[in-house]
Amino acid sequence: MPLRNIPIRRKLMTVSLLTSGAVLLLTCAAFIAYEVITLHKSMVQGYTTRAQIIAANSTAALAFQNEADATDVLAALKTDPHMMAACVYDGTGEIFAKFPANASAGVFPAKPGQSGYRQGHLEIFSPIVQNGRALGTVYIQSDLSALTDRYYAYAWLALGIIVCSIFVAYLISRALQKQISQPIIALAETAKAISKHRDFSVRATKIGDDELGLLTDAFNEMLAEIYKLNLTLELRVHQRTAQLEAANKELEAFSYSVSHDLRAPLRHIDGFVDMLRKDSEQNLSETGRRYLGIISEASKSMGRLIDDLLVFSRMGRSEMRRTTVKMDELVADTIQDMAHEIQGRAIEWNIGKLPEVNGDRAMLKQVWVNLISNAVKYSRNRSPAIIKISCRKNESGELEFSVQDNGAGFDMKYAGKLFGVFQRLHQTEEFEGTGIGLANVLRIIQRHGGRAWAEGKVDAGATIYFTMPASDAN
Amino acid sequence: MPVLSAPTCRWMSESLKRLSRIRFVFFILLFSGGLDLAAQTEISKEYQVKAVFLFNFAQFVEWPTNSFSDAQVPLTIGVLGDDPFGDFLDATVRGEKVGGHPLVVQRFRRVEDVKDCRILFISRSESRQMKRILADLKQQKMLTVSDVESFSESGGVIGFVTVQNKIRFKINLDAGKNANLAFSSKLLRLAEIVGSGKN
């Protein structure tokens, strides 16, 4: 596992252990290297000194040709367990005395030579000089087990030091890494808890006054800020929603009562126009009769307007009664109901397969009535009029219904206005209507959790789309 | 007569080489190899060793510091009586110095003539009057050496003896002390000690 992915606790431990291990290893290596060099030197020095002592003590023995005494002097070397052999050469380079006394001559170099390490042992030659006269040479030979023993001792010592130090470093770093890792872990835990439970009231515990403490403080401050913002935001949303709801209700109530109250005088106007017509139609001039007709027509038109308004306001307030609604049946019914209107028109119906949805049957009927009658109405000047009704499942999984006609169409820059109350893109003289139909459609679809929009082009027809949530579909 | 061991001969010829008496050494060796001259050469070999020993004594014995008036005063090795060394002793010490003092050899016939010697070798020819000689020399602070039997026991300082064909020596510490001589411990280790040195 790469270092960057392991938990911070182990990362810190690893870092400190690796660092101390490397430092120790290098220190030990340097120490041992130094010791080995010094040891070699000091060994040569020590044995040279020993050889010089022997040489100094052998002068008389050589001067007076006393081998026994020279052998005695050499015998002192037996206290050194590493001493393999030693001898005294006389002035001619012949062996004069040996150590051990019974050593074979083959052990010694035939002639005095150079000091140094060779073939697993150390050889030292030291001249025997008396009053500036060379009398002979001392030769001593030591094995290197003193060196190898020391190497082993150093290796074990270094190993011991490294193991102990790493263990101590482990204990120390285990204790100290908490200083760094604990605040970070606490922060991470807090952040995790917050992102999991969305609870911004949680606070991270501050442990020290270092950078991590600063971080913890900043984190907590941000949390407090978020918490405060969240609270005020929710409060504001609640307030606004309540205000909006209240305003909406008021408006609905107002428009309902207005529509309702407007009907009574209208009924009077209509009624009295009728009575006037019955009682004194013959007394009226041609012009009077025409005025009467206009009054009657206008009051009827206003009645329709009020009816539509009432429906619209009712749509916002009435309870939805959800059932499974077969859309194809609903469309067929709607077209059936309009048989009278479309009599004599050449209309090419192109109706695709429509699914069942979950919704308020009466409301959805209202949607289809509005959309289909619009399509019929605006394609009045086409022969044949082509009306296409279809449904597909869109990218979001919603059911997307569309009603397409080849009628008058509209300019896309007014597309947003289509669904507003009393918003009309055509003159009443051209296409009659109250301007409430699409507003109603949008309202119903929104109450079902869907969306509605329109696409079109002047004189190239229009398409009205609406969606129903997929969860409601079978 | 003692026969010198082989290493001794080799050592000696080497020390002679070091003394740059190569021609002389060849001469000696030629004679020492001759069988018909065996007795003559054996004596020569023995005295060659003794001559070198005499020279070596000068290096392992210290005389009182006030006995030399200055550094140029020679250190004299005297031979009393018949000289057994021939030219060899002169050849051995020629050009050598001990403590800055050049070595010279002087020969004396009579004990009355002996003067200013540091080392005096008393020849076997004087063995009969040894007691008188030693008594006469008592006032002179010198290192007396001889190969006369029981020399050191009789009051001489160093007496040569032959042990197992090798030349060794005895040192009479009392006599040495009388002569104000200081022996190197290395020399004492090689010698057989006579007397206590505490009289």
Q: Is A64 on the interface with B (CB under 8 A)?
A: yes
Helix (H) or strand (E) holding B192: strand B192-194
pLDDT mean over B108-118? 88
Q: Which tokens hold the place of A183?
A: 């605040």
pLDDT digits (tens, 9 = 90+) for B49-93: 999 999 999 999 988 876 677 777 888 999 999 989 888 899 888
Residue B137 CB coordination number (10 Å): 20
- Of residues B22 and A238, more confidently modeled: A238
Choose the closest CB to A91 out of B11, B53, B168. B11
Q: CB-side exposure of A204: number of CA atoms within 13 Å?
A: 28
Q: CB-side exposure of A372: number of CA atoms within 13 Å?
A: 25
pLDDT of amino acid A1: 65
Please say if the pLDDT value at position B137 is more than 80.
Answer: yes
Distance from CA of A84 to the nearest CA of B (A): 25
Please say if the pLDDT value at position B35 is more than 50.
Answer: no
Which residue is closest to A56 within chain B, CA to CA? B186
Q: Which tokens hold the place of B128?
A: 């009969």
Which residue is closest to B160 within chain A, CA to CA? A64
* Chain A residues touching B2 at Cβ < 8 A: none
Please, what is the Cα angle at A228 between A222 and A232, to 5 degrees?
145
Kindly determine whether residue A65 and residue B186, on different chains, have CB atoms separated by under 8 Å.
no
pLDDT of amino acid B196: 67
Helix (H) or strand (E) holding A40: helix A8-63
pLDDT of amino acid A265: 87
Which residue is closest to A89 within chain B, CA to CA? B11
Kindly determine whether residue A130 and residue B189, on different chains, have CB atoms separated by under 8 Å.
no
> How much is the pTM?
0.53
For A152, the 3-state DSSP assignment is helix
Distances (CA, A) of A395 to A146, A451, B25, B47: 87, 14, 126, 133
pLDDT digits (tens, 9 = 90+) for A144-173: 888 888 889 989 998 998 899 889 989 988
Distances (CA, A) of A135 to A140, A178, A232, A446, B160: 17, 75, 111, 126, 22
Distance from CA of B113 to the nearest CA of A (A): 30
pLDDT of amino acid B198: 53
Q: Which of the residues B4, B10, B11, B101 would you substitute to probe the A interface, choosing the one with the greatest number of A C-beta atoms within 10 Å?
A: B11
Burial of A366 (0-12, 13-18, 19+ CB in 10 A): buried
Q: Which of the residues B160, B162, B189, B192 would you substitute to probe the A interface, choosing the one with the greatest number of A C-beta atoms within 10 Å?
A: B189
Query: pLDDT-derived band of residue B27, with 50, 70 and 90 as boundaries?
Result: very low
- Beta bridge mates, A168: none
Q: Which region, left, alpha or beta, applies to residue A449 given φ > 0 means left and ψ of -120 to 50 means alpha? A: left
User: Do A129 and A135 form a contact (C-beta atoms < 8 A)?
Assistant: yes
Q: Is B103 on the interface with A (CB under 8 A)?
A: no
pLDDT of amino acid A372: 92
* Chain B residues touching A91 at Cβ < 8 A: 11, 14-15, 18
pLDDT of amino acid A130: 87
Kindly determine whether residue B11 and residue A65, on different chains, have CB atoms separated by under 8 Å.
yes
Please say if the pLDDT value at position B144 is more than 90.
Answer: yes
Distance from CA of A142 to the nearest CA of B (A): 26
Counting one residue from chain A and one from chain B, the pairs whose CB atoms sit within 8 A come to 53
pLDDT of amino acid B39: 47
Which residue is closest to B100 within chain A, CA to CA? A131
Q: Is A92 on the interface with B (CB under 8 A)?
A: yes
Choose the closest CB to B11 out of A60, A92, A133. A92
User: Do A86 and A140 form a contact (C-beta atoms < 8 A)?
Assistant: yes
* Chain B residues touching A62 at Cβ < 8 A: 11
pLDDT cut 70: percent of chain B above it: 75
Cα of first residue to Cα of last residue in chain A, in angstroms, is 49
Choose the closest CB to A92 out of B14, B56, B60. B14
Q: Which tokens hold the place of B103?
A: 């070595």
Q: Is A66 on the interface with B (CB under 8 A)?
A: yes
* Chain A residues touching B56 at Cβ < 8 A: 63-64
Alpha helices (H) along B34-154 = 38-60, 88-93, 130-137
Q: Is B161 on the interface with A (CB under 8 A)?
A: no
Which residue is closest to B49 within chain A, CA to CA? A64
Please say if the pLDDT value at position B183 is more than 70.
Answer: yes
Residues of chain A with pLDDT under 70: 1, 428-429, 471-474
ipTM associated with this complex: 0.74
Please say if the pLDDT value at position B3 is more than 50.
Answer: no
Nearest to A389 by CA among A358, A348, A424: A348
Q: Which tokens hold the place of A417?
A: 């206005």
Kindly determine whether residue B8 and residue A65, on different chains, have CB atoms separated by under 8 Å.
yes
Q: Which tokens hold the place of A4?
A: 């960057």
DSSP code of residue A319: P
Q: Which tokens hold the place of A78?
A: 């037996």
Which residue is closest to A95 within chain B, CA to CA? B7
Nearest to A20 by CA among A156, A166, A177: A166
